[in-house]
Every structure is written in C-alpha cells, then in structure tokens.
Structure 1
C-alpha cells in the first residue's frame, strides 16, 4: 500500500475532515513504483509524526493529489465499502419523485468524484461521470452495485473531458451496461418541458 505523508502543519484540514489533499500539502509518497504511478491506488495518509489521518485514493497527476475514502482507521477500502455507499445513496433517494434524480453527488455520498443521475426509473438510464481516479479504479463494482440497488439495467458513462484530463485519465464515453440512451429524452422540471440528450447533458426547451 502507498503511504502519503503530509507536511507538518498541513494536516489541519484532514483533522477537520476535509476530503481533498492538495499536492502542495504532500511531503512524500512511499510505495512501489507502479503504485506511485497508478491513478486511483489506495493510500494510507499520515501526519509527519506518523499519526493516521485517512485512507484515500491517490491521483499522481492531479493537483488534488488524493481524495479521502475514510477517516476511520478500521474501515477498509474494498468492494464492501463501495456496495455500502452505493446502497446508502440509493436508499437516501427512496422517496424522491420525478423522472430525474441526482442519485450520487460525489463526496456527499462518500464516493469522491462520482456523479450519477437517474432518468426514467427502472426502465430508464443511469448516467455516470467518473471524475476522479479513485472511483474510476472502482468502476466495475460501482456499476454492479448501482444495477443491483436500483434495478435499472442501463448504465451509460458520460465524460467530463476537463476533469478526467486533470486526473490523468483517458476521456471515454459509452454504455457500461445495457443500452445507450436515445438522442432525445423528454424531461419535465418544475413544470417546464425539456428535450435532453442524456449522453451529453445538452438540454433545450421542448416546443
């Protein structure tokens, strides 16, 4: 496992449970060469005195050098964590109404950099953006958990080019499971009718 040591005096934000670790706060990164160059590798984060601070996803090319998975020393970063957090996010939206639900919004759901919009219920589409190296590395179990918890079989990845390039990730888009969404989908928001291309997010008022 990688070990990220934080510069003396720079650990305050982590002690305050802030989830981002900037490159300027990192004193050193110890671990195998391949792990130190692998986007999304799990790292133990410690203070300059060796105190445990967090477990985080390492992103060697990003200015946000790591994003915290957990501040609990006893919580492992594994498939079970991913499943728990996806399940909790879906459960939190159980009473949501409408054709469009902002299902997962990154750090708020303990899945840093992941955005998931759910359109059209079980017969609709889950539109995902993996905007950070950590969630990108756990893409397969995330998608499996989303399908299991929502009952929606169609999962599509939309790429935010700027975000992914900033993380050193390839810009990829396409169906991750099931079918691609159609070019035009009717969306009703606050009484207004829109035509949306779910693949790109482009939206225009319906005539």
Structure 2
C-alpha cells in the first residue's frame, strides 16, 4: 500500500499516515479539505444536539494524525501532539484562518507527550483575542463555563457531554 506518512525516530509511534493517495500533497489545500469534511459531520451533530462547542478534529479519525482541535463558540483550541503535526503547523493555521475567519485560535500544545517527540511545550494565542478566563458555552440547553487557558488538555472534556446530560436528571442545581 502506498501512502504519504511522516517518520520520526524519537517517537513511540514511528509513522503516521496522512493520506493513501501518493499524488496528494500535504499543504494548505489538504488541510482545508480535511477540515471541511470534518465540519460537515460536526454541523449535523451541533444542530441535532444544540451545541455551540464540539471537537472539530479528532486526530486520526479525521485523517489528521496528532492534531486535536476543539471549537468553543468563536474560539478554536489547537493541540499538536506529534512532530509531523508540528511540522505542518503553518499550513494548518492558514487553512483554519481561511475557513474560520470569525474564530480566534488558541494553542494548548502544552502536554507531556510532546516531550516524547522531542518538542517544546507551547501555549498561548495564535490569532485573534485572548479567550476570557471563563468562556460561556451551551450544551444540551445547559450553560457552562470553560477555562480554555488553564483547563485540562484543550480546556474541557467535550467527549463527556452525554455523561453530563445523563447525570443532570439526578442532580438538583441549587444556586445561591
């Protein structure tokens, strides 16, 4: 099988496949296509579940190994977890800026796995404004506050939204 992949000897994962089409270049257009494919599914999901925040890119499952992007309203939180993803940072950010001009991009590539790939930890604004200390989001009709800058990983466990919904019926919210 022929593929375009990146090999890194320092990584525990020696090769990450970006495409099985040998004629496909890994460039801004490549990232734009992958982002648009992922967005089609997320649009349906967001509308169905009444979400303004969701995982836009989930690494290998979206054909972008080592890349996680969470959307919190008009903030995109980027996490690059592999040397190959870091190598493509500029092309990815260019594609994000073109497709999401209304969104600020915040980097949360401050996880220990980057050190295993020989990379520095990075965190901070990439484009646009700094997110507020607590960013309001809505999930299944619930209003929540997310700390993008200091929360765990990208700031919030978006993949646990169904657990929070299931738990809601057992918890009485009492606000003073």
Smaller-chain TM-score bracket: 0.7 to 0.9
**In the TM superposition, what is the alpha-carbon distance from 1:142 to its structure 2 partner?**
0.9
Give the number of the structure whose alpha-carbon radius of gyration is greater.
1
Partner of 1:60: 9
Q: Provide the residue aligned with 2:20 in structure 1.
A: 71
3-state SS, counterpart of residue 93 of structure 1: helix
Alpha-carbon deviation of 1:118? Answer: 0.8
Correspondent of 2:102 among 140, 152, 161: 152
Retained in 1: the 8 A contact 2:134–2:145?
yes
Stretches of structure 1 that go unaligned for 5 or more consecutive residues are: 1-51
Instruction: Please report the TM-score for the alignment, with normalisation by the length of structure 2.
Output: 0.76
Matched residue, 1:110: 63
Whether 2:170 is the aligned partner of 1:170: answer no
SS in 2 for 1:61: coil
Which structure's residues are more often strand, by fraction?
1
How many residue pairs are counted as aligned between the two chains?
152
**Superposition deviation, residue 61 in structure 1:** 1.0
Q: Identify if the C-alpha distance between structure 1 residues 190 and 94 changes in structure 2 by more than 3 Å, giving closer, same or farther.
A: closer
Greater helix share, 1 or 2?
2
Separation of aligned partners in 1, 2:69 and 2:8: 21
Instruction: Give 2:31's aligned residue.
Output: 82
> Taking CA–CA contacts closer than 8 Å with sequence separation of 6 or more, which of the two structures ends up with the larger relative contact order?
2
For structure 2, the residue ranges without an aligned partner over 5 or more in a row are 157-163, 165-172
**1:84-113 CA distances to partner (integer Å, 9 max, x unpaired)?**
212222233233231212111111111101
